[in-house]
Chain A
Amino acid sequence: MMDSLSVLLQAVPYLLKGALITIEAVAGAMGLGLIVGIQMAVGQVYGNLFIRRLICLYVWFFRGVPVLVLLFLFYFGLFSLLGLNLSAFGSVILVLGMTTAAYQSQIFRGAIESLPHGQLKAARAVGMSDVQAVIHIILPQALRLSIPGWSNEYAIILKDSALAFVLGTPEIMARTHFVASRTYQHLVLYLFAGVLYFLLTWWGVKALRKLETRVRIAGYAHSGGTR
């Protein structure tokens, strides 16, 4: 009992450094997913048939194949095939980013489609171009509506980041495994890892909820917007 606790305590600083790597990876993936996801969402709602089909295909692929398989496929397979010399860390961000982009695009798309048609009409009526309308009218509203869904996606990517372990990235899981395989105190160490992930999830979701309150517009109904 004392054995396991002392092992744990000694390992904590080392594991916390892993948490830092995890956070960086998740931030990178979510950021990539946000940028690509918004564009895909706009493409799906306002684009022509070809673009819509292409995006559908992308979403279908990245939502249908397990992350573990994608990591193996890209890191050990495609990246070296294409001559890309990405580190494990970079590959994780890229693969997770592409996956979350697929999911995020659907979250944003749902939000955009839930806005009343009158919003776009009114924007056009005052002379805005479609691009201006989307940037200044549609997206500000849609992004606010997307925060809960995005928060959910954050929690999922945070958990998927544990798979970066198989590529050797020194994040939480990899470091926990390293210590566990040397000290045999698997139980306490993995439980601690679980606690770390739990806290990261909790704080992240709380922060996003604060963001939601900060950017809330008075009287704005959740679906359908103001009438």
Chain B
Amino acid sequence: MNVGFYTETLIPALNRGLLVSLGLIVPSGLIGLLLGILVGTFRVYGHPVVRKITDGYASVFRGTPLVVQLFVLYFGLPNLGIYFDAYTAAVIGFILCSGAYHSEYIRGGLLSIKNGQFLAAQSLGFSMVKTLLWVIVPQAIRRALPGCGNELIYLIKYSSLAYMITCIELTGEGKVIASETFKYTEIFFIVGFIYLILTSVASFFLRRLENSLRLPGFDHYSL
């Protein structure tokens, strides 16, 4: 057991990689969620043409592997003269892919709100915008939260794909050292556990959030 290997080579490299991973996950998560909320809302309330376009966007990005999307962005676009560096391509890819999934959950949340809620709000004089803001969205968010939360956890995991387009994050650092030392088992157990910790912590906070927003009787779709 060469402790020096771990303390001098592996840990610093993995720390470097972890920072890059976080630098991929955080912006992609936030912007992807915002995009998803926007697109999801358009998919439910937009003009029919807008709806077709946004539905199409969601279909394409949910129906194709993220790897393919990343490869198109990083290796394919240069054919058209558009060049992204690895980090930017990765973030753009994560945002577009994430956004499509989020839009699906937001859409589901919005559609699950009974029509009666609209009628009641309108009969009190709420405008459409106010109805959406104060009556519909607060309920839709609670319904969409489990799905959106899960998608954020997925993002933590598939940030590892950035390695495939030469953006060296946690997985990439591990692979580099492993290919030189062949200590695949040790290295990737450690890398695996780091991801495990990240996803577990995220899950924990997600559950806390779900519980704090819980309303009596709200979980059931009937009533």
A and B touch in the complex (CB under 8 A): yes
A contact residues vs B (CB 8 Å cutoff): 4, 60-61, 63-70, 72-73, 76-78, 81, 155, 158-163, 165-166, 173, 177, 180, 184-191, 193-194, 197-198, 201-202
Judge whether B71 and A198 touch: CB under 8 Å.
no
21 residue pairs bridging A and B, Cβ less than 8 Å apart: A60-B200, A68-B160, A68-B164, A68-B171, A69-B195, A77-B189, A78-B185, A160-B65, A165-B67, A186-B78, A187-B75, A187-B79, A187-B80, A190-B68, A191-B72, A193-B68, A194-B60, A194-B64, A194-B69, A197-B68, A198-B63
Residues of chain B within 8 A of A158, CB atoms compared: 65
Judge whether A159 and B78 touch: CB under 8 Å.
no
With A65-B196, A72-B178, A186-B75 known as contacts, the answer to whether A162 contacts B80 (CB < 8 A) is no
Judge whether B76 and A68 touch: CB under 8 Å.
no
Judge whether A66 and B171 touch: CB under 8 Å.
yes
Q: Would you give the shortest CB distance from B98 to chain A, in whole angstroms?
A: 14
B contact residues vs A (CB 8 Å cutoff): 60, 62-69, 71-72, 75-80, 157-161, 163-164, 171, 174-175, 178, 184-189, 191-192, 195-196, 199-200
CA distance A152 to B205 in the complex (A): 25
Judge whether A191 and B76 touch: CB under 8 Å.
yes
CA distance A69 to B195 in the complex (A): 9
CA distance A188 to B171 in the complex (A): 28
Q: Would you give the shortest CB distance from B180 to chain A, in whole angstroms?
A: 13
Residues of chain B within 8 A of A65, CB atoms compared: 157, 192, 195-196
User: Which has the most chain A C-beta neighbours within 10 Å: B69, B80, B188?
Assistant: B188
Known: A68-B171, A73-B188, A161-B65. 6 other contacts (CB 8 A): A64-B199, A65-B196, A66-B158, A77-B185, A186-B75, A190-B71
Judge whether B161 and A68 touch: CB under 8 Å.
yes
Judge whether B77 and A187 touch: CB under 8 Å.
yes
Judge whether B68 and A69 touch: CB under 8 Å.
no
User: Which has the most chain A C-beta neighbours within 10 Å: B62, B79, B163?
Assistant: B79
Judge whether B174 and A186 touch: CB under 8 Å.
no
Partner of A73, one of B63, B69, B164, B189: B189
CA distance A158 to B72 in the complex (A): 18
Q: Which 8 A-B pairs have the closest CB atoms?
A: A77-B185, A77-B184, A187-B76, A73-B188, A159-B65, A76-B184, A187-B79, A162-B65
Q: Would you give the shortest CB distance from A224 to chain B, in whole angstroms?
A: 10
With A187-B76, A197-B63 known as contacts, the answer to whether A72 contacts B68 (CB < 8 A) is no
Name the residue of chain B whose CB is nearest to the CB of A199: B63
Name the residue of chain A whose CB is nearest to the CB of B71: A190
User: Which has the most chain A C-beta neighbours within 10 Å: B71, B77, B79, B175?
Assistant: B71
Residues of chain B within 8 A of A163, CB atoms compared: 67, 161
Q: Would you give the shortest CB distance from B198 to chain A, in whole angstroms?
A: 8
CA distance A69 to B158 in the complex (A): 10
User: Which has the most chain B C-beta neighbours within 10 Å: A69, A166, A187?
Assistant: A69
Residues of chain A within 8 A of B157, CB atoms compared: 64-67
